[in-house]
Amino acid sequence: MAEQEISLPRVNFREAQKKNARRTFILIFLFLILFSAVGGVFGAALAGPKLWYWGLIIAFGLAIIWVFFGWFLGGPMTLAVSHAKRIDEPKTPAERQFFNVVEEISLAAGLPMPKVYVIHDTAMNAFACGRNEKVACITATSGLLEKLTREELQGVVGHEMGHIRNHDIMYTVLLIMLVGVLVLLCDMFLRIVFYSGGGRRSSSGKGGGSGQAIFLIIGIVLAIIAPILARMIFFAVSREREYLADATAVELTRNSRGIASALKKLAGDKEVLEAANRATAHLYIVHPIKKFEKRAASIFSTHPPIKERIARLEAMS
């Protein structure tokens, strides 16, 4: 059976950017609602309905501490685990071209030039990290630098510069740390309930015990499903941001062919990126786990299918 072609109407890339940005803000808002609900319910279940706000205070207190460390250490840790090496003075023609392309795209974006890093691996991939444009980094594998044309490299760098300009790297740090806090809170709650008996104590006052019991049941249900919902929201944000970064690459390079052609080459790359892992996979321009594309349409995927991204790029004016 012939493979079904993806057909999309032609759109303007500026309209695509605005649409994706609106969807992302809605998803982030939904995540904050979920986070607040979990904190409030856990507080009511453990301390009583009248003291529900203590759960909210503790939840956001942990989130602030967690995000603080991730905000300042997330970028350096990502580069370290990825075995990325900084390029201050390019030593090869491929590194020189990469350095020059990053410089020219940063000028087109009106941003400070990001630090440039290379992962010495034959697989083709790239990512951006850092909490803001002042400390941002763009990293590419040596395989990508050697196998892409300058036009295609411009598309990839434009995509990563789009993540920086659109503050995706900031949102990614924020969301992944909040997901981590939420998972931690849910785990702590279940441990208290099932091992310490903290949730079985009744509140003082009329109806306090029955009310707390109801919140305890709701809390157990939330502790099970909230991490799943949080990951779904995070993955949805990631997919929308990939589409937005693709559109930004077209805006910065004034050329949709470069990024589309690069994605086609990346889709056909069979090399395995050894330095990638599940904690950093969402950062890359294409998912580094090769079997991912078979399930890329799933709600639990961080990247949209490459074929759909290419089809959207070819439909942009």
User: CA-CA distance, 149 to 146, in Å (whole number)?
Assistant: 8
Judge whether residue 42 has pLDDT over 50: yes
Contact at 8 Å (CB) between 240 and 23?
A: yes
Say what the pTM is: 0.79
Q: Is 160 a catalytic residue?
A: yes
- pLDDT, position 16: 63
Tell me whether residue 28 is exposed, middle or buried, using C-beta atoms within 10 angstroms of its C-beta: 0 to 12, 13 to 18, 19 or more.
middle
User: CA-CA distance, 248 to 41, in Å (whole number)?
Assistant: 40
Rg over alpha carbons for the chain, rounded to the nearest Å, is: 22
- Mean pLDDT value across residues 108-124: 95
- pLDDT, position 51: 83
- Listed range (14-23, 132-141, 197-206, 236-245) with the worst mean pLDDT: 197-206
Q: How confident is the model at residue 299 (pLDDT cuts 50, 70, 90)?
A: low
Higher model confidence: residue 79 or residue 131? 79
Judge whether residue 224 has pLDDT over 70: yes
Beta bridge partners of 138: 116, 128
Report domain extents, the chain.
13-77+173-225, 84-169+239-315
CATH of domain 84-169+239-315: 3.30.2010.10
Residue tagged active-site, from 133, 152, 160, 251: 160
